[in-house]
Amino acid sequence: MRFLIIGGDAAGMSAASRAKRKNPDLEVIVLEKTRDVSYSACGMPYNIADPERDMDELVVRRAEVFIEKNNINLLIGHRAERINTGSKTVSGDTLDGRPFSFSYDFLLIATGAAPVMPDLPGFDLPGVMPLKNLEHGRAIKDFITKNKVKKAVILGMGYIGLEMCEALRERAIEVDMVKPRKPFLPWLVPALSEVVYNEVVQNNVRLYAGSSVKKIISTDRGLSLECDNITLETDMVIAASGVTPCSKIASEAGLETGVSNAIAVDFQLRTSDKTIYAAGDCADAVHVVTGKKCWIPLALRANRAGWAVADNVCGTETRLDGVAGTSVFRVFSLEVARTGLNMKEAEENGFDPVENTIKTRSRAHAHPGSTTIYVSMVGDRTTGRLIGVQMVGQEGVAHRINAPAVALHSKMSVQAFAQCDLAYAPPFSPVWDPMLTAANQLLKKI
């Protein structure tokens, strides 16, 4: 039996490795269009911040290890272009132009997501680059060094954009950030968003929210961005306006797509063709709070989904219940985290949401080094159910968000969460952990 996989990063290689462990006699072929497999894309901004680090440090396992140790037929530089569901074949071309075609018994589409690049004049100029894969990371780092970059413009103010603004400032590069919509972080509670905004500005980053780029032109001094109400001169531009699922090969094969044009899958990661699976950033999921389909591209889901596909292909039926959208990022001295729904999302999904925001301490009040933590918690007035949590602070945020994430997966009420036995010691928390204080205060409103 042949298990064919399109895409050799998180979901694809997780599926390939697990399938060979479970069934060593299974023929596993992986088609990867780039030269890189199994790497930590999330670590790229931190690597770019340090000119002495090699980008290849982010490679978790090299292609030859999968080939020699795991006996996986990993074919790099192979771009899959077409799926024929009738003949059960995948065809495409190698990077040097040679055509190929492989048959399959089971197929996994793990094509990931692609950076959004506006269809505007100048986005094909040298020095205008996205950051999504390791090739992008190498190109950015190489461009900074070779061109002695002093100024950069980042398009977008999301997770990657904010991590990159910190990385560039670490290298003494001036940074301007531009985005078309006015709110700085629209998904974050305004009080918490203001804290993050002030942190970024205090680190000498200029923010231009509510300004759309019209075009980029090349000048004698570098690049010039013409926006709605401002012109920015720069040495390089990093496009960080988000990503979109790479689902074209699936939709052209007649497979169903859904929310955000991601490939529609069931709880076993099967597509509308039951011999074809999809996993990772190209596929949708079910949100554990709403019970509805969503598209939230996250690394843990990609790896977990790859494992589940391998189990199902090898005959062990495995189901993934869904995601809560739990995420965290760092920008300068702040940790920013969320799980579940905010007020707007809760209202749009038919809840009767109640929100409360608190400002408290990361450690016991008399313990040195204590810093401020902001927590916003949302519950449902009708059922009392916990719906979502957001946090911002200098410490104690990144791992604290995991407690409400577990509560969301367990469909706990705010009252039940307020009764949880959370750890206490003065260096780590007040007696009443910020999570418990937030829950107790929200209960009063509910």
Got the DSSP string for 372-429?
A: EEEEEEEEETTT-BEEEEEEEESSS-TTTTHHHHHHHHTT-BHHHHHT------TTT-
Active-site pick, 42, 165, 282, 314: 42
Return the amino acid letter for 270.
R
Residue 182 has φ and ψ, to the nearest 5°, of -70, -50
Q: Annotated catalytic, 294?
A: no
Whole-number Å distance between alpha carbons of 239 and 209:
15
Q: What tokens does 424 get? A: 């206490």
- Beta bridge partners, 106, equal 3
> Are the C-beta atoms of residues 393 and 335 closer than 8 Å to each other?
yes
3-state helix, strand, coil split of the chain in percent (to 5) is 30, 30, 40
Over the Cα atoms of the chain, what is R_g?
23
Residue labelled with tokens 């313990």: 367
Whole-number Å distance between alpha carbons of 242 and 244:
7
Residue 431's alpha-carbon distances to 265, 275, 360, in angstroms, are 44, 53, 12
Residue 245's alpha-carbon distances to 181, 251, 279, in angstroms, are 22, 11, 11
Whole-number Å distance between alpha carbons of 375 and 373:
7
Which of the residues are catalytic?
42
